Chain A
Amino acid sequence: MSATTAPAWTKPQQQANWLVRLFDWKPFLAFACLLPAAGLLLVFLTYPLGLGIWLAFTDTTIGRSGYWVGLENFQYLLEDPLWWNAVFYSVFYTGIATIGKFALGLWLALLLNNHLPFKSLLRAIILLPWIVPTVLSAIAFWWIYDPQFSIISFLLVDKLGILDNYIDFLGSAWPARFSLIAANIWRGIPFVAISLLAGLQTISPSLYEAALLDGSTGWQRFRYITFPMLMPILAIVMTFSIIFTFTDFQLVYAITRGGPVNSTHLLATLAFQRGIPGGQLGEGAAIAVSMIPFLVFATLFSYYGLARRKWQQGEGND
């Protein structure tokens, strides 16, 4: 076989116009495709966030633009017992409510994962508390917790005669705090339960079969199969849940308005109370900004603490 001696074929040089070349240039294309999303984020996320942070360093009130006051707002908050009280209750509220929601939500998910009659109908009903607008359920709870006309007091005192006096749910600090947490848990369970149910259904039944052949108990199957396999989705759901709970506003504002005597103010309701009815936009913004470190910490915790396991990323044993 002789080597071919034909001259190498060359592509006719076609000069594409500059627009085509520009769009063929990968960095530009990526930039152009990102632009709409980035624009939306800038306008609707970065700008309000930036404005909020800027306001926190001014003494703006409603009706008057403010002057730069540096850290004055934050210094005031640090010596403001109401702010400390709101920090405490926000953390407490988030902590207890999250534990409650996940304990009950996981339990509910496990129950729903069994074969039940009317499975889909049941799952739809479970979602109801989550679907109902928060303010509506808040008003329902407001009635349930009413000092004079509570259905719970009515049942316990007038119908069953277990108690002698009506329960004063919202009249003093601790009962009010726990009442709100109960309302939040009731509202949050469906989200957790349905999300975890979705996670449960991705777990391969063959794992359970293998475990059964090995003679495992129910608790062992939960502890060594269900729970680890659920971990990734648990981490995501928990991150969301913590953020939603920490920034909760409607339930508290509709039921207690932060009372009695400010004992149930969350940072979000306190920020609103100071910023809008109180008119101190700068101070309200400072309170809102003071939530950011907590949120960042909570997000990092649930993300790194729960999700970054080696085996989840395919790197062998844990």
Chain B
Amino acid sequence: MHIIQRRAALKLGLSAAALTAFGASAQTPIQAAAVPEPNLPIESGATLRMLRPVRFVQPDEEVFRANAAKFTQKTGVQVRIDFVGWEDITQQTAVTANTGAGPDMIIGFGDAPHIYVDKLVELTDVADYLGKRYGGWLALAQRYGKKHASSSWIGLPFGATAGPTIYRKSAVTAAGFDRVPDDHAAYLDLCKKLKAANKPAGFALGNAVGDGNGFANWLVWSHGGYLVDEEGKVAINSKETLNALNYLKELYPTFLPGTLSWGDISNNRAYAASECWMTANGVSLYFSVKNDPATAAIAADSEHQLLPKGILSESPMSGLTLNAMLFKHSRYPNASKAFLQFMLEREQYDPWLNANLGYWAHPLANYDASAVWTSDPKVALFKDTMRSTFYNGYKGPLSEATGAATADYVMVQMCAAVASGQSTPEAAAREAERRARRYFRR
């Protein structure tokens, strides 16, 4: 009797411990391990300023601001958040890093912390805590968050968006395919048939940060090429790249006209106007057509699929990553770290993830369980975005140079030069090599 009681009590105690440890709380299905928080005494009188890229979906901004307000309520630290256009964030980060003045924190894109590494505060304590608490950081998050070949974190990834293929089911079916094929020959065949049916595909070949680099990277990677090798030596002028560019020469004529001047938003507009029937984009495109009654039929007819694998076994698709960094010039580094950590805790992060409807995919494994990934079957694909092992600058170490080469559109312009007929594939690859060498010379 006694024994049984003690066992029961033990069980009760255990389950109580489990509850606190893996608290399956009512609001969120996200598991979290009980890990001691890093000790971050908030400086008195701290106020914070953060820059982040502008929202694509309205609730993103609302929930992000609400979360920041919760932080203010809890700690008394005022947080001012400015939302900056996507193409300006790079320049503003540059100016902030260079002048040592301005916001305490910036959520920039992927490579940014690697470019300004000397100006940043290490975030290893917060990153280790969050990793242990939420089942570990995913591959892409580790790649972008950690300094190369070290375990010190210089960025805290907040999420990534990938640009998989989005296509009109009806058009692809009419062309005789049940899905977008993975091998290059069949893919080209599909694009030709789409063009013949006057329902062409189109991919950005202009200076577009997200879509342009996404397409150029896919083209080269899926043929086995890469910008730099593992040691960071320029390796773009290769047989594989030439294969890719020769393939592009056949593929480009199947696009709708004008893709050479496309920016990031152009394919969204063309797709929504049924001028373009297959492209690659983040989930924003799907939702923008779904939410507009005039184009809801397009959304119903749309499907997402990972980019064709080409000769690889995995779809070569990098995610555009939100990467938060904390500058050394900040007078309140602890408050800043506490804020970043607070925003990535499940009470704040899960609602934000849900608010983004799948546009941003989580960097921490346990957020797989978030409700957003079951909310719309057409969005489920985006859940694994940060499990990708491909990144801008693949497969070298992330550095100042990879960021610069991406920002200077070395790969995009190599492809565009061939597509426009301005250069032969050989000349374009040589030119890309020359430009990349300049960036990677140190």
Contact = CB atoms under 8 A, between A and B. Distances in A.
A279 B407 contact: yes
B261 A274 contact: no
Interface of B is mostly: helix
Q: How large is the interface on B (under 10, 10 to 19, 20 to 34, 35 or more residues)?
A: 35 or more
A273 B408 contact: yes
B431 A81 contact: yes
* Shortest Cβ-Cβ A-B pairs, 4 listed: A147-B258, A170-B261, A277-B407, A260-B260
Interface of B: 90-91, 94-95, 97-98, 115-119, 205-207, 256-263, 266, 269-270, 273, 275, 400, 403-404, 407-408, 413, 416-417, 420, 422, 431, 438-439
A176 interface: yes
A176 B422 CA distance: 14
Contact of A63 (B119, B256, B259, B431): B119
Contact of A172 (B207, B260, B431): B260
Interface stretch (A25-33, A206-214, A251-259, A299-307): A251-259
A169 B261 CA distance: 9
A63 B115 contact: yes
B289 to A, nearest CB: 15
Interface in A79-111: 81
Interface in A150-183: 165-166, 168-173, 176
B91 A277 contact: yes
Interface string A254-284: 0011111111000000000110111111000
Nearest to B405: A278
B97 A63 contact: yes
Nearest to A281: B98
Given A149-B273, A259-B206, A278-B408, A63 B260 contact: no
Nearest to A278: B408
16 contacts: A61-B404, A63-B94, A63-B118, A63-B400, A64-B400, A81-B431, A148-B273, A166-B257, A170-B261, A171-B257, A257-B207, A259-B416, A260-B260, A261-B260, A261-B420, A279-B403
Contacts of B119: 63
A147 B205 CA distance: 13
B275 A277 contact: no
Given A257-B263, A261-B422, A148 B258 contact: yes
* Range for the number of chain A residues in contact with chain B: 35 or more
Contacts of B417: 261
Contacts of B416: 259-261
Contacts of B94: 62-63, 276-277, 279
Contacts of A260: 205-206, 260-261, 416, 420
Identify whether the interface residues of A are mostly helix, strand, loop, or mixed.
loop
A149 B269 contact: yes
A276 B91 contact: yes
Given A63-B118, A257-B206, A176 B261 contact: yes
A148 B260 contact: no
A250 to B, nearest CB: 14
B402 to A, nearest CB: 11
A168 B422 contact: no
Contacts of A281: 98
Nearest to A62: B94
A280 to B, nearest CB: 7
B206 A76 contact: no
Contacts of B98: 62-63, 281
A171 B408 contact: no
B261 A148 contact: no
Nearest to B403: A279
B413 A261 contact: yes
B97 A168 contact: no
Contacts of B117: 63
A261 B118 CA distance: 33
B136 to A, nearest CB: 30
Contact of B420 (A63, A172, A276): A172
B248 to A, nearest CB: 13
